[in-house]
Amino acid sequence: MKTGIIGMGNMGSKYAELIAKGEIAGMELVAVTRVSDERWDRIKDYVSPDILRVSSGDDMYAAVDRGELCLDAVIIVTPHYSHEELAVEAFKRGISVLCDKPAGVYSRQARNMMNAFNEAKKLHPSIRYGYIFHQRTFPTYKKVKEIVESGQYGAVKRVNWVITDWYRPNAYYESGSWRATWKYDGGGTLLNQCPHNLDLLAWICGEPESVVGFCKEGRFHPIEVEDDVTAYLEWKSGATGVFIASTGEAPGVNRLEISLDDALIVCDKGVLKIGVLDKPESEYRNGHGDLFAKPVCEWQQIDVEPSDKAYNKVLEGFVKGELIAEGEEAINSLYISNAVYLSSWKNRKVLIPQPGSDYELEFEKEFEEALADKCIV
């Protein structure tokens, strides 16, 4: 798979190095966009002398149009707003796309990308469209999903996820003029760090139905976007949840709790435990006699393999056509983050749309208008 990388920043150069050094079977690096001398030095000895170095994704596509470059796929690792245009242009040429998170800044971008892919697939049945949600490969989260979906311990009652280990110093935000701005970055903690967590939340527990969000802009850093988020979530099943994230707390935690009818799953810094009741909770609740009867719980630690080579697994799956995250799934985390933003800005509960519903367009219009008020458009 002859591959070009559009965006040679921290992550783009990481993917380039993996491919250039032959760690991804079946993938060859044939083109990169603007790359610093330092990052070029890391790959130059491993790539063909004919590799194309261009200034932008547009230049890469122009080289394809002129017949100077043969591309099977592109990996898009650019600022969020540009994802839509770069992906759509690739699909027009029958080029497969693997995109870094998120799909864009607002959900309409993700929907437009998916529509463009579906149209392109009619002419180019073999093209692929996926996302680098690499945390789906972590054995811990795969096991949590397996337990929840098995129904062995009943339905989900409550979800609590506190992710405050996304710590960032001011230097991080000062490293690029586009960072932490509404106009160029499109958001803060929710859009930069948390797409992985929001994707996992929907992947494991299903898409929530509604949200009440509270975003604190510049609480810990001198930035205009949010660096502290609290959201209350509700699912159609009746399950509820709380999602908390920030980039200004230390030492920080990453603790996911999923309360099921008859068990509690706890994932804390990669350590997975489950507390299983001796009999169904409903039997205690509906029983007679002891006014203070309390379920008996046995805790078990679940051993899982280390979370190694996650990015390799995503890239290798893309080559084989076994995508870790399909393109159509990328909209799920954007729906949630957009709804949290809108709820915080409007100070009210916001419903999360279902794709294809009449409410979807209404939701997107309201969000984009609210975004425009923050000088995004």
93 and 195 assigned to the same domain: no
User: pLDDT tens, position by position, for the chain (377 residues)?
Assistant: 999 999 999 999 999 999 999 999 999 999 999 999 999 999 999 999 999 999 999 999 999 999 999 999 999 999 999 999 999 999 999 999 999 999 999 999 999 999 999 999 999 999 999 999 999 999 999 999 999 999 999 999 999 999 999 999 999 999 888 889 999 899 999 999 999 999 999 999 999 999 999 999 999 999 999 999 999 999 999 999 999 999 999 999 999 999 999 999 999 988 999 999 999 999 888 887 788 888 999 999 999 988 889 999 999 999 999 999 999 999 999 999 999 999 999 999 999 999 888 999 999 999 999 998 886 54
Q: What pLDDT score does 377 carry? A: 43
Measure the CA angle with vertex 352, ends 103 and 224; round to 5°: 60
Integer Cα distance of 361 and 20 in angstroms: 42
Residue 73 lies in a domain: yes
The pLDDT tens digits for 62-108 are 999 999 999 999 999 999 999 999 999 999 999 999 999 999 999 99
- In SS3 terms, the chain reads as CEEEEECCCHHHHHHHHHHHCCCCCCCEEEEECCCCHHHHHCCCCCCCCCCEECCCHHHHHHHHHCCCCCCCEEEECCCHHHHHHHHHHHHHCCCEEEECCCCCCCHHHHHHHHHHHHHHHHHCCCCCEEECCHHHHCHHHHHHHHHHHHCCCCCEEEEEEEECCCCCCHHHHHCCCCCCCCCCCCCCHHHHCCHHHHHHHHHHHCCCCEEEEEEEECCCCCCCCEEEEEEEEECCCCCEEEEEEECCCCCCCEEEEEEECCEEEEEECCEEEEEEECCCHHHHHCCCCCCCCCCCEEEEEECCCCCCCHHHHHHHHHHHCCCCCEHHHHHHHHHHHHHHHHHHHHCCCEECCCCCCHHHHHHHHHHHHHHHCCCCC
Q: What pLDDT score does 289 carry? A: 75
215 and 339 assigned to the same domain: yes
CB 143 within 8 A of CB 149: no
230 and 357 assigned to the same domain: yes
The strands making up 226-234's β-sheet, listed across from edge to edge, are 297-302, 271-277, 263-268, 254-260, 156-163, 240-246, 226-234, 210-217, 350-351
Residue 25 lies in a domain: yes
354 and 265 assigned to the same domain: yes
CB 278 within 8 A of CB 295: yes
151 and 216 assigned to the same domain: yes
139 and 267 assigned to the same domain: yes
User: Which of 6, 109, 9, 104 is CA-nearest to residue 59?
Assistant: 6
State the CB neighbour count (10 A cutoff) for residue 5.
28
235 and 222 assigned to the same domain: yes
176 and 283 assigned to the same domain: yes
13 and 59 assigned to the same domain: yes
pTM: 0.95
Say if residue 102 is preceded by a cis peptide, omega within 30 of 0.
yes
Q: What is the CATH number of the domain that holds 163?
A: 3.30.360.10
Question: Residue 297 CA to chain centroid, in angstroms?
Answer: 34
Integer Cα distance of 324 and 330 in angstroms: 11
Q: What is the CATH number of the domain that holds 57?
A: 3.40.50.720
Residue 376 lies in a domain: no
Residue 203 lies in a domain: yes
36 and 171 assigned to the same domain: no
Residue 343 lies in a domain: yes
Q: Which two tokens stand for residue 359?
A: 């409410």
128 and 196 assigned to the same domain: no
Residue 377 lies in a domain: no
Number of domains in the chain: 2
230 and 363 assigned to the same domain: yes
Residue 275 lies in a domain: yes
Distances (CA, A) of 248 to 196, 215, 223, 341: 18, 13, 12, 19
Q: What pLDDT score does 375 carry? A: 65
Domain that holds residue 45: 2-133+311-326
CB 4 within 8 A of CB 26: no
